Structure 1
Amino acid sequence: MAEAAVVLALGKLVTSFGVSSLRTYLDKEPARLQDLPSTAKHIERELDMVHHFLSQVGTKIYSNKVLEGWIVRVRKVAYCVEDITDEYNYSITLEHERRFQRLMHKVFYPKTFHRIAVELKDIEEEIKHLSQLKRDYREMFNELLDSTSDSAHIHLISSNGSSHTIKEDDIVGMKRDMELLGKWLDPKELDLTVISGWGFGGLGKTTLVRKVYDWEKGLKSFDCYSWIAVSHNYYIDALLRQLIQELSEDQSKVPTDLDTMNRGKLNDELKKVLSKKKYLIVLDDVWDTTAFHELSDSLVDDNKGSRIIITTRNNDIASLAQEMYKMKLNPLGNDDAFELFHRRCFQKSNMECPFHLEELSKQIVNKCGGLPLAINAIGNVLAVQESKEIVWRRINNQFQCELEDNPGLDKVRSALSISFMYLPRHLKNCFLYCSMFPQDHIFNRELLIKLWIVEGFVTQRGHSTLEEVADGYFIELIQQSMMQLVEDDEIGRVISCKMHDIVRELALSFSRKERFGLADINLETQKKDDVRRLLVSNFDQVSDMIRSGMDLPRLRTFIAVNKVANYHLISLLISRCRYLAVLELQGSPLDKIPENIGDLFNLRYLGLRRTHIKSLPRSIKRLSYLETLDLNSTNIERLPREVAKLKKLRHIFAEQLFDPEEKQLRYFRGVKLPDSAFELAQLQTLQTVEATKKSVNLLKYMPELRQLCVENVCRADCATLFSSLSNMSHLYDLVISANDLNDPLDFNAFSPKCTKLEKLTIRGCWDSETFQRPVFCDYGANMKYLTLTFCKNDTNPLQSISLSVPNLIFFSIRRGCWAEEIILRAGWFPQLRTLYLGKLELRRLVIQEGAIIRLEVLLLLSLPCLSEVPKGLELLASLKKLHVSMQHPEFKREWERDNWKTKLHHVQEIRV
């Protein structure tokens, strides 16, 4: 986004080009250099005004070609400012280092700082020219600012307006949802009830609710009805007037002064209209909880069975309804999607698809991703086309372009575009960033938020870390239906998500328009100095880039997927793209990194996961801005001592997986760190480090760690290790792995003054009194996740664990256990949602009444000795999922003989 580019440039200007940083040098240098601070200040002031202007214009940007053209130039200026500022900051740092080393800086200084001064002067002139252009086209700009209505918004709303006539083929695949919604409107529940239907644009929320609404209106089940389209730019007084008008049974009694009533009188009048009435109100397309709260004071509850239905794209707004009255709409399944498409497209041929169009029909429907709105729209477009394969193939091949400019797809564009246009400012860049990745790409939360941070999309908020703020952004995008949840972790935190295909296509069109980033395009057709972010996923594009010499002077982000990057390409990137901040090469077939990687002075993220890299070059010490170093599953066993120079490093991922089947205790190996690396005071993630006599002691110098994995821990080092961990007040995720099954870990020295520890994994045995140690007795209530593996202990710890760690949500016991029988007694683990028992020699599981009363998931995997169905299994009333695998044959016989599937009829998913 242009506005975000300006904000990012402003933020860097404010903290750079200060007089204090230059005072050492200015007295002896030319006047142009002495003008640097004032030039930068002038640019800062101008960009600040541009920022305020863009904020005020808002979504009108997209409705004026003159403004769009002007913004393109603003964006280029902002990008240049960002690049120059980064280079300036690096140069200042380097000059300080050289001075301390008593080296002559005069040779370096004129060559770099003089060029920076010249470039800043050029930018200053360009900004003056932009201001002049704005004055020259004053009338058009003023028209945008003076307009009281948002033309872009009006267009979108009118294009997406609900129709009172719902055709039968609009409701394919919605029968079950319609029945449920009808049931919720049943008058047996007399309290005023709020119902919500939510999901992203185009799923058919309005269509579904309109069908049920019209049905109820025909039956006259309620005394009065009102359908209110709230939308984004609602006006509360107008909504109140519409409600009064529509809910008044006798229109002659509607006050003649309704249009001039103030808010207080409108509220009183609406209460009078609703008094002793059973009413049905639909609030369609709600974007803000404030709209509901402003109306709710006037909505009378006389215990008549009244209902309010909200449709929304936002989970927070949907949560205004009770959980039991909250309906999430999902995309249509394949069968329903094809049925809807055939009804819409082949009406003239009894809804039968011609044989020669069957395969193309499948491809086109699949691109709609189950969105009824998209299927209807593309069906309408194709219904009037000739039934020739060449015509349909053209539309299929040009689907993205059709989506952007085909008039027949206006409703699809509008429904989805409005979601993007009204995203909060801080989420727009994050959303566009996701669109660059390939179709159906699964985003890992931890890696994605680290990319957002190094891109500069995340700003500090209060005392939260940038990672915590970015985590909130991630959740917001899911709650606003811009991303689809794929997987939660065991304690309810999102692990991964994906982007709906059509949402991605439209996001890509915005990304190109904003010059934000490019994915899998022909660079020959692009202006090279416009390419800011680039993702490649095919070998042809890599070949084209190498052949063209990689002329991308302003590139800051390069991401390679599908194993397409090679050494030659990386060498070219390093030599030609000096401002590169993100280099993500995950999975690429690389066995070494060019020696000159240190030339990428601005690099903040280096992703080498699942490559064949064996070592890092010494020049890595010059990557002074590096924040994330991802070396997971590489062949690197030891980090070079130069890593200690990377003072801004926040995350190190470095472990090797030696045994994928996890048969050995040390199935993964940690990296060896040089002693000096423990001085990286800003480090928050260290996964994984090998325990040595020195390393367990030096960990105390890393107090900011949030996530830590330590492997190969021997008992003799436990006191030192846990004493070091006791200093880490922010640690929330800890993995401790022993070096010997016969050498139990000693947790006695783990005695923090405070801790936020939520997740703990212990691999190996432990002392019998472990769960009575200070960290568990004093802070065990904070812990939500506990995994015990290779735990062949002599004593049963379950009672101690239940007492000391009462709020566990996830509990896993794998590979080794203290007995062949596990008994879960009444009152134990009252908050537990998931219990995972795997690869054990367990023969019997007993669940007493009152134990694990909130359990939802029970996983009994690879338990070949489990010969009977767990006693008390039927007592788990909250159980939703039961998976049993590789059990004893007798288990299966008992399961079928006693008809356990019928006994557990309340369990939604059973796999035995």
Structure 2
Amino acid sequence: MKRMVEVAVLFVIKKIGIAVACETLKLAKPLLGNNSEMRMTLPVNMKLIKDELEIINAFLKESGINGCNSEIIEMWTRQVRRLAYDMEDIVDQFMYVIGEYQLKESWACVRKVFKKHHCSFSLDEIAAKADIINKELVELSNRIGRWTQLIPGVSYNLATNYDSELLYQPGHDYSINDNELVGIDHNREILIESLHLQDASLRVIAIWGMGGLGKSTLVNNVYKNETIASNFSCQAWVSVSQSNKIIDICRSMLKEIYGNDNRTFDAGSMNSAELRVELMKILDKKRYLIILDDVWTADTLIKIREVLVDNGLGSRVIITTRIEEVASVAEDGCKIKVEPLNDHDAWLLFCMKAFPKTRNHICPTELHQCGKDIVEKCDGLPLAIVAIGSLLSLKTRNIKQWRLFYYQLISELHNNENLNRVEKILNLSYKYLPKYLKNCFLYCAMFPEDYLIHRKRLVRLWIAEGFIEQKGGCSLEDVAEVYLTELVQRSMLQVVARNSFDRIQCLCMHDLVRELAIFQSKKENFCTIYDDTHGVVQLGFDPRRMSVLQCNNNIQSSIDPSRLRTLIAFETCKTSCSWYSSIPSESKYLAVLDLSGLPIEAIPNSVGLLFNLRLLCLNDTNVKELPKSITKLHNLQTLNLERTQSLKFPQGFSKLKKLRHLLAWKLLDATYRSLNNWDSMEPFEGFWNLKELQSLNEIRATKVFVAKLGNLSQLRALSITRVRSSHCLQLCNSLSKMHQLSRLHIRAINENELLFLENLTLQTPLEKLDLVGCLSEGTLESPFFSAHGSQLLQMELAWCQFIGSPVAQLSKLSNLTELRLTRVDTCQQLDFHGKLFQKLKKAVLWDLPQVNQICIHEGALVSLECLHIDSLKKLWDVPTGIEFLSSVKEAYFTRMNSEFVRNLQTGKLNHIPKVYWSTEGVSSVETEATNLTEPTSTNPQWRILGGSGWVFI
């Protein structure tokens, strides 16, 4: 809890630093010296508050307070956080006043603005509040000193105690026997094989994955195996998590080695150099096996490696870690990632622990469904399954008792001593997170259980919250993606899908990790989850961030939104949307307003009062028009209007100079059968002034737009539609001025309009390029393709024509990982020759009217993982040579003719794990699989052909 207070304090210190910077105070000088003594003291008080908070932060850090359970300390840190939040509000008010003054250039105009908007604060009020906070902080600092001296039980050095009780010790009883180890056979075989490798050099083997997966249990099972132990003359097990000091690790290692030989060893009398020499001397002549359990940093492992002698005797070092970066120190082929148990193994383990005395550990029929629900909540985590199953073995086998336990499961994790170890082990990962990742991690708990969190959405939310700091020449988005990757590498988030060039697309949180994050968030008043699914809502005091999962009309009377800074409402919350219209007028500090997917039709004009708003998401709503007041949101960074009816912007919209992402389009044709199957936003006057804009999707081409587009040289993603032939020369000229562009989509106004892009040049390579419309001759030989074509990763060509095969003409794009050919007029046969597209992972061939044969030669498409063929009406047989595609994991054949479907049964696809197919008019399918591939119709219907036969879904 104290660590999170540090994060909150640091966040406010940074904000105050901006507010009292010389540039800001220079702008504020005319306002601060307006014959008001209180107003004149405002900068002084803000600096004093900043200094006091810095001292408090240093105290929190230096005293080792994190892990102290004193109620006095807990109460004191809550008060520090409250004052930090109060100060954050004051800083935001102050910066708003300064910003308005700078825009209007006169204090009279600011007063006029306040009066017009019924603004509830003034500079005098801001100054008075800052003075009060300064005095309260001084008193708070004095108070902690008094009380900690009076009560002798308060200690500041308990952090290590929290870890030591969680250390895994081989040979100790952790309530799981060897015959109860399930789901580890495969990893155990790999580990044993790595130990037996005929390689005389020292090898490091890494076992990694999130906390509670049984990494240490797996290693211990192998470590104590007598056959394996007999192959090593020296063994030691060292729990690293208790110390990152090499001297302590060496001392523990020597004690283990001497203890196994029944020899005494006085480690306490030796310094670091002596310990290293002694350890290297002992290991020099022996084939040793060292276990380094729970390693947290790669640096620690590298330093330990320096004292581990490579004596050419085939010694082995096994490490367990939760962090991918640490595991990467191991050699290739010596990294084992431990995954959660599958449903079958999870149920088997649960029954072993819940019914230990029952023959074959059979679950009684009346408890079966409840037991399944409990196991599902554990989400494959052996630690939780063992702990919960063991606890249930002591309870009466009564469905009422079990169901009550299920409903109270999360509470039991926090309060039941038998389950407390589960919480503590999972919380270790959170405890060891760097400060800059803590807020980012807790924020993910605001999403519903099992929710697919999309990378772009999460990154933009983090930036809007102010969690991301600029680093060097990197954009905020780049830094945020580094944070995201680090959370994945630390096993705090799980990757659900990556795109074809291995970039994270969407993620989720493990159920128990999310529940513990929610508990921590509530404890820290970081955020509140509003969910009345079961008729019970628990709200944190004075919520600053709120996630609404399910709600009814009572929500308005349940909370005070006056201090709310973040509101995210999910599409599951559709029963009552009237409440949201009152939010702008009641939550003046709001920075994030995400109403994606709600059936709202309008945004109130009062949205203009949200001076602090940085992100407004209205995608997938029924909003038809934006209020004029939106032009007052000068801090707005992201506006998402995708799949809405609102594609026009009010006059003055270009005043929103801080916009980074502007996204707006609506779907016109759900079958995706026409070139213009969606509509895009109209260009607005002055768009060229948005110098911070990173993403602009989708916008219509006009003569003025393509001429001025070059002013947005910082754009990274651009999607431009309704392009005419007459636009192309100027468009190419404007695009040549962009030095950051990585994703480009160009779409013609209709199927017959010719796109003259043979003069296309760009300063930097693209990751992704979509060209939709007839291409002029020579486009694929343009300067862009000559200079950067080999670096292109993803490409779509649609509604264009080729003389001959497009495959041959695209062969120079040697690094493509994804290729889509949509409604392309081409030859009758597509030939993928040997060595062609060696890095391609995904190929989509959609509605190619002339194609009646596809040939894949041996050696081509060797990296292909996904093949999707859609609406090739003249294709009667599966692609020739498809048996060469040994890397394909899934294949989709959608809306194909009936003869093609009959030929799927020839056995050529048995090597592909999953094959999905559909035909027009098939009606004997039980389940729709609408999310299995690209949207191809409003109601696609599927059958699955498995490698071992037919499987219907």
Q: Which interval holds the TM-score relative to the shorter structure?
A: over 0.9
Alpha-carbon distance in 2 for matches of 1:697, 1:338? 64
Do the aligned partners of residues 164 and 347 (structure 1) sit closer, same or farther apart at CA in structure 2, a change above 3 Å counting? closer
Alpha-carbon distance in 2 for matches of 1:601, 1:535? 21
Residue ranges of structure 2 left out of the alignment (5+ in a row): 917-944, 946-953
Alpha-carbon distance in 2 for matches of 1:622, 1:755? 35
Per-residue deviation, 1:196:
1.7
1:392-541 to structure 2, matched below 5 A, reads 392-520=402-530, 530-540=542-552
- Which of 214, 217, 229 aligns to 1:207? It is 217
Alpha-carbon distance in 1 for matches of 2:670, 2:208? 41
1:46 paired residue number: 52
- Whether 1:285 and 2:294 are equivalent positions in the alignment is yes
Alpha-carbon distance in 2 for matches of 1:800, 1:793? 9
Alpha-carbon distance in 2 for matches of 1:620, 1:159? 61
Stretch moving more, 817-826 or 199-208: 817-826
Alpha-carbon distance in 2 for matches of 1:892, 1:592? 47
Structure number having the greater helix percentage? 1
Per-residue deviation, 1:111:
6.0
2:780 paired residue number: 771
Stretch moving more, 174-183 or 586-595: 174-183
2:646 paired residue number: 636
Residues 60 and 144, structure 1, Cα contact 8 Å, conserved in 2: no
SS of the aligned residue for 2:79 comes to helix
Residues 97 and 110, structure 2, Cα contact 8 Å, conserved in 1: no
SS of the aligned residue for 1:324 comes to coil
- Which of 555, 559, 577 aligns to 1:545? It is 555
Alpha-carbon distance in 1 for matches of 2:219, 2:858? 43
Residues 95 and 105, structure 1, Cα contact 8 Å, conserved in 2: no
Per-residue deviation, 1:479:
0.9
- Which of 299, 307, 314 aligns to 2:323? It is 314
Do the aligned partners of residues 184 and 891 (structure 1) sit closer, same or farther apart at CA in structure 2, a change above 3 Å counting? farther
2:829 paired residue number: 821
Do the aligned partners of residues 456 and 552 (structure 1) sit closer, same or farther apart at CA in structure 2, a change above 3 Å counting? same
- Whether 1:296 and 2:299 are equivalent positions in the alignment is no
- Which of 374, 380, 395 aligns to 2:384? It is 374
Per-residue deviation, 1:509:
0.8
Residues 68 and 155, structure 2, Cα contact 8 Å, conserved in 1: no
1:177-326 to structure 2, matched below 5 A, reads 177-216=187-226, 220-231=230-241, 233-247=243-257, 251=261, 258-326=267-335
| Aligned AA (1:325) | C
Residues 882 and 908, structure 2, Cα contact 8 Å, conserved in 1: no
Per-residue deviation, 1:627:
0.8
2:663 paired residue number: 653
1:26 paired residue number: 32
Per-residue deviation, 1:416:
0.2
Residues 19 and 25, structure 2, Cα contact 8 Å, conserved in 1: no
2:624 paired residue number: 614
- Which of 690, 710, 718 aligns to 1:708? It is 718
Identity %: 35
Alpha-carbon distance in 2 for matches of 1:744, 1:719? 12
Alpha-carbon distance in 2 for matches of 1:512, 1:103? 41
| Aligned AA (2:74) | E
Stretch moving more, 304-313 or 68-77: 304-313
2:752 paired residue number: 742
Deviations for 1:764-798, whole angstroms, at most 9, x for unmatched residues? 22123112111121222332111222233335444
Alpha-carbon distance in 2 for matches of 1:241, 1:335? 43
SS of the aligned residue for 1:435 comes to helix
1:5 paired residue number: 8
Do the aligned partners of residues 624 and 343 (structure 1) sit closer, same or farther apart at CA in structure 2, a change above 3 Å counting? same
Do the aligned partners of residues 459 and 24 (structure 1) sit closer, same or farther apart at CA in structure 2, a change above 3 Å counting? same
SS of the aligned residue for 1:520 comes to strand
Per-residue deviation, 1:244:
3.6
Per-residue deviation, 1:333:
1.7
1:560 paired residue number: 569
Alpha-carbon distance in 2 for matches of 1:147, 1:70? 17
SS of the aligned residue for 1:863 comes to coil
Alpha-carbon distance in 2 for matches of 1:687, 1:22? 37
Do the aligned partners of residues 527 and 365 (structure 1) sit closer, same or farther apart at CA in structure 2, a change above 3 Å counting? closer
1:679 paired residue number: 689
| Aligned AA (2:70) | N
Do the aligned partners of residues 223 and 131 (structure 1) sit closer, same or farther apart at CA in structure 2, a change above 3 Å counting? same
Residues 60 and 151, structure 1, Cα contact 8 Å, conserved in 2: no
- Which of 358, 366, 374 aligns to 1:349? It is 358
| Aligned AA (2:551) | F
Per-residue deviation, 1:349:
3.1
Residues 208 and 215, structure 2, Cα contact 8 Å, conserved in 1: yes
Residues 163 and 241, structure 2, Cα contact 8 Å, conserved in 1: no
1:55 paired residue number: 61
TM-score, normalised relative to structure 1: 0.93
2:846 paired residue number: 838
Alpha-carbon distance in 2 for matches of 1:787, 1:106? 53
Alpha-carbon distance in 2 for matches of 1:462, 1:835? 37
1:16 paired residue number: 19
Per-residue deviation, 1:183:
2.5
Do the aligned partners of residues 45 and 772 (structure 1) sit closer, same or farther apart at CA in structure 2, a change above 3 Å counting? same
Residues 99 and 105, structure 1, Cα contact 8 Å, conserved in 2: no
Do the aligned partners of residues 193 and 909 (structure 1) sit closer, same or farther apart at CA in structure 2, a change above 3 Å counting? farther
Do the aligned partners of residues 843 and 524 (structure 1) sit closer, same or farther apart at CA in structure 2, a change above 3 Å counting? closer
Residue ranges of structure 1 left out of the alignment (5+ in a row): none
Residues 732 and 759, structure 2, Cα contact 8 Å, conserved in 1: yes
Per-residue deviation, 1:463:
0.9
Stretch moving more, 268-277 or 680-689: 268-277
Per-residue deviation, 1:251:
3.3
SS of the aligned residue for 1:6 comes to helix
Alpha-carbon distance in 2 for matches of 1:839, 1:89? 55
Stretch moving more, 234-243 or 762-771: 234-243
1:175 paired residue number: 185
SS of the aligned residue for 1:137 comes to helix
- Which of 134, 143, 161 aligns to 1:151? It is 161
SS of the aligned residue for 1:348 comes to coil
Stretch moving more, 879-888 or 52-61: 879-888
Stretch moving more, 48-57 or 647-656: 48-57
SS of the aligned residue for 1:434 comes to helix
TM-score, normalised relative to structure 2: 0.89
Per-residue deviation, 1:134:
1.9
Stretch moving more, 875-884 or 167-176: 875-884
| Aligned AA (1:900) | K
Residues 518 and 535, structure 1, Cα contact 8 Å, conserved in 2: yes
2:931 paired residue number: none
Residues 805 and 829, structure 2, Cα contact 8 Å, conserved in 1: no
Alpha-carbon distance in 2 for matches of 1:855, 1:441? 28
Stretch moving more, 572-581 or 149-158: 149-158
Stretch moving more, 393-402 or 827-836: 827-836
Deviations for 1:524-553, whole angstroms, at most 9, x for unmatched residues? 98787631111112133xx122245x5232
Give the paired residue count.
902
Aligned CA RMSD, in angstroms, stands at: 2.9
Alpha-carbon distance in 1 for matches of 2:123, 2:171? 57
Stretch moving more, 430-439 or 344-353: 344-353
Do the aligned partners of residues 311 and 597 (structure 1) sit closer, same or farther apart at CA in structure 2, a change above 3 Å counting? same
Per-residue deviation, 1:395:
1.4
Per-residue deviation, 1:678:
2.9
2:701 paired residue number: 691
